[in-house]
């Protein structure tokens, strides 16, 4: 029986697997791309703001820069105070600096919240408790800002002409809109059982986290001390810029105008409040007695210091934290 000779098959080339797309490296470049887009869109504001800085008194500008840097320290204290676990200090501070840049590139509060939520989960805090700590931070920051504003309004009742801050007849529709939103939200919670269950579970987790935090005096002090220091330092920065440009308004009145303006635009979903914050600050400073031209110069210079100067290094820090898997 003769053996059957099979035909020789041609050598097949080795199977090539596609290279993995470096997703994390691409994400590192996204903040820089967003910074470029935002800067191009607001190039006229940047040019005018830097022009105002050239005519200012530099000692007061250095005070404003120092107050701005301390806001990241205050934010780090508040973030640590909102969670029981001890977070790495240097990474926490770097994360707040990066979160500031993310906050100016995404709708207000969303960027910083996402960065800090990711940071806490990487540090080993469960997602449910990280979300509860984030909610506690936002609550403390809002209470601190509103409490500081209320205290200044009581101490200086004539500092602002409040009638100029809101259009005539706008208060009634505003409260009606807020009431309608609350009624709709309550109705959804009543009739959608799954959503109601999720909300109740989150509230139980948040209340438990708040009790645990306040059972430790050091955490409670960091939480509430930082939540008061953060808006106070921001207001100090604006007052320092006002003094640098010769705005004829007392510094405390400028601080009160800043708090009132930021509270007024808190619900405006614009990236970092860009546009809405400038307009509200100018209106508030004019309501405090400042000339419109000087108030505009002060606001532009202040936003250059607090937003545009830290934006590029903040974006670079954000990219570095992504690459190092800190967030």
Query: What per-residue confidence (pLDDT) applies to 29?
Result: 60
- How confident is the model at residue 13, as a pLDDT? 55
pLDDT at 16 over 80: no
Classify burial at 215, counting beta carbons within 10 Å of its beta carbon; exposed 0-12, middle 13-18, buried 19 or more. exposed
Confirm whether 9 is domain-assigned: no
Tokens matching residue 146: 């509103």
Angle at CA of residue 75, ends 73 and 79, nearest 5°? 120
Q: Any idea what the Cα angle at residue 296 is, between residues 152 and 277, rounded to 5°?
A: 60
Is 136 a member of any domain? yes
Enter the pTM of the model. 0.79
- 205 in a structural domain: yes
Residue 12 lies in a domain: no
Is the model's pLDDT at 239 over the cut of 90? yes
**CB neighbours of residue 107 within 10 Å:** 13
Residue 248 belongs to some domain of the structure? yes
- Above pLDDT 70, what percent of the chain? 72
pLDDT in tens, 253-294: 999 999 998 888 775 555 555 567 788 888 889 888 888 888
Q: Which residues pair with 107 in a beta bridge?
A: 271
Higher pLDDT, 252 or 276: 252
Count of domains observed in the chain: 1
Beta bridge partners of 23: none
Q: How many CA atoms lie within 13 A of 192 on its CB side?
A: 12
In a domain, 29, yes or no: no
CA dist., res. 233 & res. 256, Å (int): 12
For residue 219, is it within any domain? Answer: yes
Q: What is the per-residue pLDDT for 60?
A: 93
DSSP states of 263-304: HHTTT--SBTTTTHHHHHHHHHHHHTT--HHHHHHHHHHHHI
| CB-based contact 195:46 (threshold 8 Å) | no
Bridge partners of residue 271, in order along the sequence? 107
Check whether 15 has a pLDDT greater than 80: no
Supply the pLDDT for residue 26: 60
Q: For residue 145, name the pLDDT band (cuts at 50, 70, 90).
A: very high
Q: Which domain holds residue 313?
A: 41-167+183-323
For residue 276, tell me if it sits in a domain: yes
């Amino acid at each position: 029986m003769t053996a059957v000779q099979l035909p020789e098959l041609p050598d097949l080339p080795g199977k090539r697997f596609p290279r993995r797309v470096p997703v994390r490296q691409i994400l590192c470049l996204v903040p820089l791309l967003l910074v470029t887009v935002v800067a191009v869109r607001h190039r006229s504001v940047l040019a005018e703001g830097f022009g105002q800085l050239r005519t200012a008194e530099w000692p007061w500008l250095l005070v404003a820069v120092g107050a701005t840097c301390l806001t990241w320290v205050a934010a780090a204290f508040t973030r640590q105070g909102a969670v029981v676990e001890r977070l790495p200090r240097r990474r926490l501070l770097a994360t707040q600096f990066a979160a500031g840049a993310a906050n100016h590139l995404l709708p207000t509060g969303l960027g910083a919240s996402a960065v800090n939520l990711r940071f806490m989960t990487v540090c080993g805090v469960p997602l449910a408790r990280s979300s509860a700590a984030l909610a506690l931070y936002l609550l403390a920051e809002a209470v601190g800002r509103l409490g500081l504003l209320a205290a200044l309004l009581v101490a200086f009742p004539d500092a602002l002409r409040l009638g100029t801050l809101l259009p005539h007849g706008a208060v009634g529709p505003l409260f009606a809109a807020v009431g309608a939103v609350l009624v709709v939200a309550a109705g959804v919670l009543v009739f959608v059982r799954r959503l109601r269950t999720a909300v109740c579970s989150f509230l139980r987790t948040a209340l438990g986290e708040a009790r645990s935090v306040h059972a430790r005096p050091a955490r409670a002090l960091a939480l509430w001390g930082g939540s008061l220091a953060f808006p106070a330092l921001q207001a100090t920065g604006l007052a320092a810029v006002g003094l640098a440009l010769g705005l004829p308004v007392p510094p405390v009145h400028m601080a009160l105008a800043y708090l009132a303006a930021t509270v007024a635009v808190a619900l405006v979903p614009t990236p970092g409040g860009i546009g809405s914050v400038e307009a509200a600050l100018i209106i508030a400073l004019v309501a405090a007695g400042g000339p419109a031209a000087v108030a505009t110069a002060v606001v532009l210079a202040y936003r250059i210091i607090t937003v545009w100067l830290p934006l590029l290094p903040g974006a670079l820090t954000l990219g570095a934290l992504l690459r190092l898997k800190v967030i």
